[in-house]
Amino acid sequence: MKSFTKTSTSRVLTPEELDRLNDERCLVSEFKRAKLEREAQKNWDLFYKRNTTNFFKDRYWTTREFDELRTCRKLESQRLVLLEAGCGVGNCIFPLLEDDLNIFVYACDFSPRAVEFVKYNPLYSPERCSAFQCDLTEDDLRENVPENSVDVVTLIFVLSAVHPDKMKLVLQNISRVLKPGGIVLFRDYGLYDHAMLRFKAGSKLGENFYVRQDGTRSYFFSKEFLALLFEEANLQSVANDYVLRETVNKKEGLCVPRVFLQSKFTKPSQPQSS
């Protein structure tokens, strides 16, 4: 059984790891950063062209980690409405659809290929699911999802793929379709995750923000940064903790420290005065 620790403090780096991070001070050029931003959608779509549905594993842990997925109904018979924002090929939603028959899922992604893979999945049916293409930083979700209608939004390893300057736009967008009292369930890369320390020189785009070989990008969240981001979008913190896990990298024969940030935020029932 895999073991993990939940903690409110970030991972402490060794002196060697600190040196490594400090060596990466030089940023990718402004020209290349702007190009990566313009081509973000294309790069994710090419990712799915190369990897089809074979890259991410199905996420069977969501109901264990987020008991709201079972408990947040007011009546047992209530049909839960969920939005999986940045759904990829559906590794998060299909285990939920298999597990819980009384759920309706909206699922969106800005890769048209990913959305097609979702629609081709044998578990997809229009009575239980509505998948659509959209850029969460630009396209108003209300074109596909009624305002104030969603009980739960899941943001699973998605916000890290968005430029930090545009993350607030994503949160404002999902907040419009979330019911007052509804909840956002978040899990993503945490500060000093092994993946962050593995980036080679020439991959750094900004503070805690890196580009992979394939042009997709990843941000590594501190809990303070995330809390502020949600606060600015008028979403209130319910939980916000690092999850630390040692996993074995079989290829390299190494035990590696993984850090994720796992959090919950709610939309206040009463509008907040600013």
Task: Give the footprint of ligand SAM on this chain (CB under 6 A).
Answer: 44, 56, 59, 86-88, 91-92, 109-111, 114, 135-137, 156-158, 161-162
Pick 137 or 240: Cβ nearer ligand SAM: 137
Pick 11 or 59: Cβ nearer ligand SAM: 59
Pick 84 or 151: Cβ nearer ligand SAM: 84
Element (H, E) at 188: strand 178-189
Q: How far is the CB of 6 from ligand SAM (least distance, A)?
A: 20
Q: How far is the CB of 11 from ligand SAM (least distance, A)?
A: 21
Q: How far is the CB of 62 from ligand SAM (least distance, A)?
A: 9
Beta-carbon contacts of 247 under 8 Å, excluding residues fewer than 6 positions away, are 2, 255, 256, 258
Pick 88 or 182: Cβ nearer ligand SAM: 88
Pick 157 or 199: Cβ nearer ligand SAM: 157
Distance of CA 255 to the CA centre of its chain: 24
Residues facing 155 on adjacent strands? 186
107 phi/psi in degrees, rounded to 5? -140, 125
Q: Enter the DSSP assignment of 164.
A: G
Q: 3-state class of 70 per DSSP? A: helix
Sheet strands (E) in 3-161? 4-7, 80-85, 103-109, 129-133, 150-156
Q: How far is the CB of 23 from ligand SAM (least distance, A)?
A: 27
Pick 17 or 135: Cβ nearer ligand SAM: 135
**DSSP percent split of the chain into helix, strand, coil, nearest 5:** 30, 30, 40
Q: How far is the CB of 196 from ligand SAM (least distance, A)?
A: 15
Residues facing 233 on adjacent strands? none
Largest CA distance in the chain: 56
* Closest residue to ligand SAM in the complex (CB): 88
Q: How far is the CB of 214 from ligand SAM (least distance, A)?
A: 12
Pick 157 or 209: Cβ nearer ligand SAM: 157
> What distance in Å separates the CA atoms of residue 115 and residue 132, rounded to the nearest whole number?
6
Q: How far is the CB of 161 from ligand SAM (least distance, A)?
A: 4
Q: 3-state class of 159 per DSSP? A: helix
DSSP sequence for 103-124: EEEEEEES-HHHHHHHHHSTT-
Q: How far is the CB of 133 from ligand SAM (least distance, A)?
A: 8
The answer to whether the beta carbons of residues 155 and 174 sit under 8 Å apart is yes
Pick 110 or 210: Cβ nearer ligand SAM: 110
> What distance in Å separates the CA atoms of residue 62 and residue 12, rounded to the nearest whole number?
27
